[in-house]
Amino acid sequence: MLKKIYNTLLEFYGCQGWWPLQRRAGTENFDEQGYHRGQYVIPVNFRDQFEIIAGAVLTQNTSWVNVRKALYQLTANKRLTPQAVLACSQPELAALIKSSGYYNQKAKKLILIARFLLENQFTGSKSVPSRESLLQVWGIGPETADSILLYAYNVPHFVVDAYTKRIFGRLGLAESTAGYEEWQQFFHCKLTRDHVLYNEYHALIVAHGKDVCKTKPLCASCCIKKFCRFVSDKMIS
């Protein structure tokens, strides 16, 4: 069932090209916003990885539009490396990322993750932190840790977010009240552990959650309504 839903979403929305890299926008294989549809060997170096890591922190509780503005400021001011982040005062860093919201907390999070990466020598494209070590960094929860592992390091950890819980709760395939680890285990048990599949599936879930399966869902426009218990229940009622 999960693979059928994935194939339907992929056919409807197409490849999403996550995680976008702003500094590569408009270059070969990247569109004007930095998405790289169908390219799964990215990131290729630590600069790419750190941009993804910073983006995963900045996107907490905000939209990607606001994150993009913050990343632009960090890039323009040459602050998008761990060394540059640590050379910056927290108030200065907070001012640069103000568009992302909760900027004082996020500035602290960026400083701590940058320090973690440098102190543990996770500065090469083949140096991969463990999930457990990431979760020990203040401000890095399961969703952010898994986003970092999946998109920055191509490690197959399925990312569970609010869209995932809403969509698959409505589909009737999992309990929307379950905890993060239970949700993740649900996907890990039923899907092949493959970073390409997890990358695209999560991105498609976000696209569907933003455009169709909203708080007030647009069920008539839903490409996966044939799988959905929520739609069936509405029809019965």
The per-residue pLDDT for 44 is 84
Domain 44-153 has CATH 1.10.340.30: yes
- Residue 74 CB-half CA count within 13 A: 36
Across 4-13, 183-192, 222-231, least confident range: 222-231
Percent of the chain surpassing pLDDT 90: 88
- State the residue for tokens 């997890």: 198
Domain spanning 2-16+159-236 has what CATH number?
1.10.1670.10
pLDDT at 234 over 70: no
Q: What is the tens place of the pLDDT at every residue in 92-142?
A: 999 999 999 999 999 999 999 999 999 999 987 678 999 999 999 999 999
The per-residue pLDDT for 137 is 98
> Residue 233: which pLDDT band, with cuts at 50, 70 and 90?
low
pLDDT at 232 over 60: no
3-state SS track over the chain: CHHHHHHHHHHHHCCCCCCCCHHHCCCCCCCCCCCCCCCCCCCCCHHHHHHHHHHHHHCCCCCHHHHHHHHHHHHHCCCCCHHHHHCCCHHHHHHHCHHHCCHHHHHHHHHHHHHHHHHCCCCCCCCCCCHHHHHCCCCCCHHHHHHHHHHHHCCCCCCCCHHHHHHHHHHCCCCCCCCHHHHHHHHHHHCCCCHHHHHHHHHHHHHHHHHCCCCCCCHHHCCCHHHCHHHHHHHHC
pLDDT at 20 over 70: yes
Calpha distance 112→135 (Å, rounded): 12
In the chain, what are the domain boundaries?
Answer: 2-16+159-236, 44-153
The per-residue pLDDT for 237 is 45
Q: What is the tens place of the pLDDT at every residue in 47-98?
A: 999 999 999 999 999 999 999 999 999 999 999 999 999 999 999 999 999 9
pLDDT at 40 over 50: yes
The per-residue pLDDT for 178 is 86
The per-residue pLDDT for 236 is 43
